[in-house]
Amino acid sequence: MGLLLLLTSALLSSYFHPGSVVKAQRVVILKDISLSMEPSHVVSRNTNVTLRCRANVVSVEKALSREYTIYKDGNAIYNKTSSTSEDLLYHLSEVRVSDNGKYSCRISAEGQQATSSAKKLEVTGLSKPVLHVNERVVAEGKEITATCTAHGERGSIFFYFYENATEIEERQVNSNQIEVKLRLSSVGTHRIHCAYAVFVRPDSFKSEESNAVSVTVEELHIAPVLEIFPHSKIYEGDELFVSCSVKGPPPTDKMHLYLSRGNQLLDRGNTTVSHRGIALAKDIGDFECRLEIGSVVKNDQGTISVTELFSVPTLTVSPAEVFQREDITLTCKSESSASERLGQEGLTYALEPPRSQLVPKGIGIFSGKSPSNDFNYTCVARAKNIVKHSEVLTVRPKVPVTTPKISVVGRAVLGRRFTILCQSDIGSLPINYTLLKGYDQLNTEAVTQPFQQALFTVSVDRPDEISKFTCRAKNSHREALLSTRLNATVIEPLSHPILTVIPGLSEISEEDNLHLICGVRGTPPVTFKWYRVGTELPLSTTTSDKNNTHYQVHGLSKEHSGVYYCEARNHANNVVRSEHVTIEVRMALWKKLMIGGFCLLVLFLLVVVSVLCFRSKRGKREAAAELSVKPASPKSDDSLTVNLTHDTEVYNAATVRLDRAAVSVWSKRPSEDVNDVESSVASNEPDVEYTEVVHPRPVDPERAPLKIGTDTVYSELQNSPDGAADHHDYSDNPERRAGKRPSEFPVKNKGL
């Protein structure tokens, strides 16, 4: 921090002490600068004007160097350097209009600049110009010297000179005086004056007119003379002589003569010029003899009229329509002629070129055969060395039309309008073509332009009508030529679309080959398309030269089932669609047989299993029955005692179930239409009835009765239709309840 304070003190000391090593920078402020005009910015000419440039400059130094610059219209006109603060004064003495403009002042000091706003000085008034001429009377064609002076003016000045009221000269100079040479226009007295204008961008100031000076121009007594021979009526072929000369005293200056007719210069010279030739009708016009002496121009004109000896011939052909190698006559004739100058044999005619095949048949008449191609002829008329050519006549022999050809444009569709073209290969235009149907004329077309065609629009209702059309062509006075009959195919639009399915709809099964036959009525070729409902693109597309074709599907499957239809189109551009056909692909026959066989096999197996099960159960029952029946003892008095050793078997034998129905041993005998299975099973056993006989016997006290559970059971075995033993429940018998044996049992018989 101490070091910083030390450096700051040193810098301040150097700035405030001029004798120090570092010199302080000068500070200059240009506050205001202005420009004024004294006595005013609008003054009259010859006034002394002072421009005062005043600047307010703030500076440390009193003697500050300042540079002043005065500008006029942006251009520096004065510069001064001053070290005082006094105003800069710029003097304009005896101002003129040329001093008009915008003035401004600029001051520069120590690299600083300031410019005052521009102020316009307007000076009014111009001095009146003065005109002087060196001669007041001059000869025709002579020049005078005129001097115009604008006293006291300066700058860029335009001077104007006038003859009477017409401006004849204009000059620009940078001085107030000009001298010019003037040549006055004609003989007589002329008043001359001048004026000037001072140009100060962007304005100009024009002075008043000068004094007027009268100058007289005297005519020269010399003139050109034009002479034409012969003076009387001139005919074609007459010798014509025209001369141009000068009349009067010869001038001091050199003169020039010119002889011309219209824009054609015939001759030129200094004293006399002339022209000789044969008078022609084209010579009708003005001749001019022109004299030039310095700037003086004099002329003399003359008009001649030349009478035609004969008019330009015209060439015509007869007949107007000429055909190849037919007789023609060319006639060459001049419509008018000067009979007073020409005799009967004075005018001759000839054809050009000479190699033409036509020969003279009289005065101006030529006959012969017409050429095969276009040919140009010209007629030449001659009399007294006068030769005139007619305009070129082009003979275009016509070509007779050939037998026309008749054809159909595009296609002929039954019931629709179509176009017939009738055309000849050769024939000059115009050609008239006529369309006929049988002997009836339908229409006529005139072909007048190249590439134009004779087109006729017709229609037919039957195909055989097409052959009734013919056409004829004619382009001359000859008989018209007739074409052959129209030979073209008539396209019948398609109709009656039919979709046929092979095999029949009821016979379609898997793995078959399907044929979809689409047939229509109409003219082939026909484009057929087959579709399946649900798909946008056709299954197949075929173009056939017949009215029917087919689409084949190999190896049908269930996926091919669906709704099918076909579309057809021919050159008539009509589309027809068949009705929809629903195709259902059935299961294959072998699959059906396999399934049927399988079902039969399953049924057979079920029957076999059932039979085996039934026999197995019967065998078990028979075995149980044999084991449960024992032989009677001799003391039993032929009584049979049945002991049931197994409670379960006795119970099972009591009841047998057939067809899910319980049948007891007391059941009613079955009907005759019993199930075949049951019959077959029952037929294996003999038809035996079991009779149960019960004899009263004393009770053996030593033998305990047979019990089932807690009850005493008395059982007997009886043969049933299904081989099961009948079981009798005597639990409701009061004697049984008392523990006694019933005295009598009923006998039950049941057969198969």
DSSP calls for 262-322: TTEEEEEESS-EEEEEE--GGG-EEEEEEEEETTEEEEEEEEE-EE-SBPPPEEEEESSS-
Strands 137-139 and 213-218, bridge-based pairing: parallel
Residue 652 lies in a domain: yes
Q: Which of 85, 105, 123 is the last residue of a domain?
A: 123
Q: Which of 100-104, 302-306, 476-480, 575-579 has the lowest mean pLDDT?
A: 476-480
**Distance, CA of 346 to CA of 309 (rounded, Å):** 10
Q: Does the pLDDT at position 338 exceed 50?
A: yes
- The string of DSSP letters for 20-35 reads SSSPPPP-EEEEEEEE
202: preceding bond cis by omega (within 30 degrees): yes
Taking each continuous run of H as one helix and of E as one strand, the counts in the chain are 5, 56
Q: Does the pLDDT at position 656 exceed 50?
A: no
Q: pLDDT category, 721, cuts 50, 70, 90?
A: very low
Q: Does the pLDDT at position 657 exceed 90?
A: no
Phi/psi region, residue 627 (left: phi>0; alpha: psi -120 to 50; beta: rest), is: alpha
Q: Which residue has the higher pLDDT, 149 or 683?
A: 149
| Structural domains of the chain, count | 7
**Quick one: 67 and 188 in the same domain?**
no
**Quick one: 57 and 163 in the same domain?**
no
Q: Which of 163-167, 236-240, 685-689 has the lowest mean pLDDT?
A: 685-689
H or E stretch including 594?
Answer: helix 589-628
Q: Which amino acid does the sequence have at 264? A: Q
Q: Which of 266-280, 372-386, 539-553, 732-746 has the lowest mean pLDDT?
A: 732-746
User: Does residue 150 contact residue 195 with C-beta atoms inside 8 Å?
Assistant: no
**Whole-number pLDDT of residue 594:** 85
Query: Within 13 Å and on the Cβ side, how many CA atoms surround 156?
Result: 8
**Quick one: 728 and 676 in the same domain?**
yes
Q: What is the mean pLDDT of the chain?
A: 79
Residue 96 lies in a domain: yes
**Quick one: 103 and 118 in the same domain?**
yes
Q: pLDDT category, 353, cuts 50, 70, 90?
A: confident
Q: Which of 491, 517, 538 is the last residue of a domain?
A: 491
Q: Which of 481-490, 524-533, 652-661, 700-709 has the lowest mean pLDDT?
A: 652-661
Q: pLDDT category, 627, cuts 50, 70, 90?
A: low
- Please list the helix, strand and coil fractions of the chain in percent, rounded to the nearest 5, in that order: 15, 45, 45
Strands 137-139 and 130-133, bridge-based pairing: unpaired
Q: Which of 395, 421, 437 is the last residue of a domain?
A: 395
**Whole-number pLDDT of residue 509:** 85
**Quick one: 607 and 723 in the same domain?**
yes
Q: Strands of 177-183's sheet, edge to edge?
A: 130-133, 143-149, 177-183
**Quick one: 445 and 564 in the same domain?**
no
**Distance, CA of 196 to CA of 148 (rounded, Å):** 9
Please write down the HEC assignment for all residues of 598-628: HHHHHHHHHHHHHHHHHHHHHHHHHHHHHHH
**Whole-number pLDDT of residue 637:** 42
Residue 752 lies in a domain: no
Residue 214 lies in a domain: yes
Q: Which residue has the higher pLDDT, 744 or 616?
A: 616
**Whole-number pLDDT of residue 389:** 93
User: Does residue 400 contact residue 476 with C-beta atoms inside 8 Å?
Assistant: yes
In the chain, the percentage of residues whose pLDDT exceeds 90 is 44
Q: What are phi and psi of 526, to 5 degrees?
A: -125, 135
Torsion of the alpha carbons at 698, 704, 710 and 715, rounded to the nearest 10: -60
**Whole-number pLDDT of residue 344:** 59
**Quick one: 278 and 335 in the same domain?**
no
**Whole-number pLDDT of residue 180:** 95
**Whole-number pLDDT of residue 717:** 33
**Quick one: 176 and 201 in the same domain?**
yes
H or E stretch including 680?
Answer: helix 676-682
Structural tokens at position 448: 């007048």
User: Does residue 689 contact residue 719 with C-beta atoms inside 8 Å?
Assistant: yes
Instruction: Give the CATH number, domain containing residue 415.
Output: 2.60.40.10
Domain that holds residue 36: 29-123
**Distance, CA of 180 to CA of 197 (rounded, Å):** 17
Residue 196 lies in a domain: yes
**Quick one: 416 and 516 in the same domain?**
no
Q: What is this structure's pTM? A: 0.40
**Quick one: 324 and 377 in the same domain?**
yes
Residue 15 lies in a domain: no
Q: What are phi and psi of 523, to 5 degrees?
A: -90, 125
Residue 6 lies in a domain: no
pLDDT in tens, 132-184: 999 999 988 888 999 999 998 988 899 999 998 899 999 999 999 999 999 88
- The string of DSSP letters for 519-578 reads EEESPSPEEEEEEETT-SS-SEEEEESSSEEEEEE-S--GGG-EEEEEEEE-TT--EEEP
Q: Does the pLDDT at position 58 exceed 90?
A: no
**Quick one: 718 and 610 in the same domain?**
yes
Q: pLDDT category, 729, cuts 50, 70, 90?
A: very low
Average the pLDDT over 592-607 and give the result.
Answer: 86
Q: Does the pLDDT at position 130 exceed 70?
A: yes
Q: Does the pLDDT at position 17 exceed 70?
A: no
**Distance, CA of 413 to CA of 490 (rounded, Å):** 6
**Whole-number pLDDT of residue 574:** 85
Q: What are phi and psi of 734, to 5 degrees?
A: -65, -25
**Quick one: 657 and 528 in the same domain?**
no
Q: Does the pLDDT at position 5 exceed 50?
A: no
**Whole-number pLDDT of residue 711:** 40
pLDDT in tens, 493-551: 999 999 999 888 877 888 888 999 999 999 999 999 999 998 889 999 999 999 999 99
Q: Which of 354-363, 432-441, 453-462, 734-743 has the lowest mean pLDDT?
A: 734-743
Residue 4 lies in a domain: no
